[in-house]
Amino acid sequence: MIYFPEIGTPYPIKNRLLLSSFLTDRRTERGTLGTRRTILVLLVCMISLVSCTTKPTPSSLLALQVSRIGQVLRQIEASYRQKEEAGLLLHLDPSFQQVSLFKEQIRHDFTTFSEINVTMKIIRVDKTPSEISTSIYWEGTWKEKTGDTLLPPSASPLHQSGHALFLWNLDEVPRLLEIRGDAPWGNKVLRNE
């Protein structure tokens, strides 16, 4: 910065004064408004181009499989609640090894209890090359049939909860391969005694 005492103020300060007068001048107002409009239009165009070119991320295969398993669990809950044995057996894989025990457990529940209400929630998912295992937390209420002498009167309605491991195949429609842990059906009477 060069300062000449006889002239008065240094040159940069004069520029600031010129800049303030530049902004108030009518001719330059049109120029600044035009520049602002141009910048605004360019900014809107850039944002629209960026938003148009981004594609939604496709769901992973595992996420789709877990979603299908969740749908099958809702169907199993509904079939069990409505006491539809065929609906429950539909979700078993042909290689399911505990079919006779499974049928015995659900038939026992269907004959012993008048109302069944179970909800199952997936807590954890593990995938291997041949199957998917889901850790399930379940809870439910089983109401005994009136006049049934199998249960003591204080046991109805029966509230239970537990954890189970459901193993599923990797087909388009998941089917149960195996159940480990506390199954949400069968043996309710034995658990209470």
Residue 192 contacts residue 158 (beta carbons within 8 Å): yes
**The two structure tokens encoding residue 102:** 């499974």
Whether residues 103 and 138 fall in one domain: yes
Q: pLDDT confidence of 59, banded at 50, 70, 90?
A: low
Whether residues 25 and 89 fall in one domain: no
Whether residues 41 and 102 fall in one domain: no
Residue 105 contacts residue 92 (beta carbons within 8 Å): no
Q: In b/e form, how buried is each residue of 93-115, taking b as 16+ CB within 10 angstroms?
A: beebeeeeebeebbebbbebbee
Q: pLDDT tens across 28-40, in order?
A: 455 565 677 788 8
Whether residues 127 and 169 fall in one domain: yes
Strand 132-144 and strand 176-181: pairing?
Answer: unpaired
Whether residues 111 and 160 fall in one domain: yes
Whether residues 41 and 122 fall in one domain: no
Measured N-to-C along each axis, helices 11-24 and 26-53 cross at an angle, to the nearest 10 degrees, of 80
Handedness of CA 83, 87, 92, 98 (dihedral sign): positive
Which range is least confidently modeled, 12-21, 118-127, 161-170? 12-21
What's the domain count of the chain? 2
**Average pLDDT score over residue span 123-147:** 89
Which range is least confidently modeled, 37-41, 76-80, 113-117? 37-41
| Residue 54, in any domain of the structure | no
| Residue 136, in any domain of the structure | yes
Domain hosting residue 24, numbered range: 11-48
Residue 83 gets which letter from DSSP?
T
Give the mean pLDDT of the chain: 78
* CATH number of the domain enclosing 136: 3.10.450.50
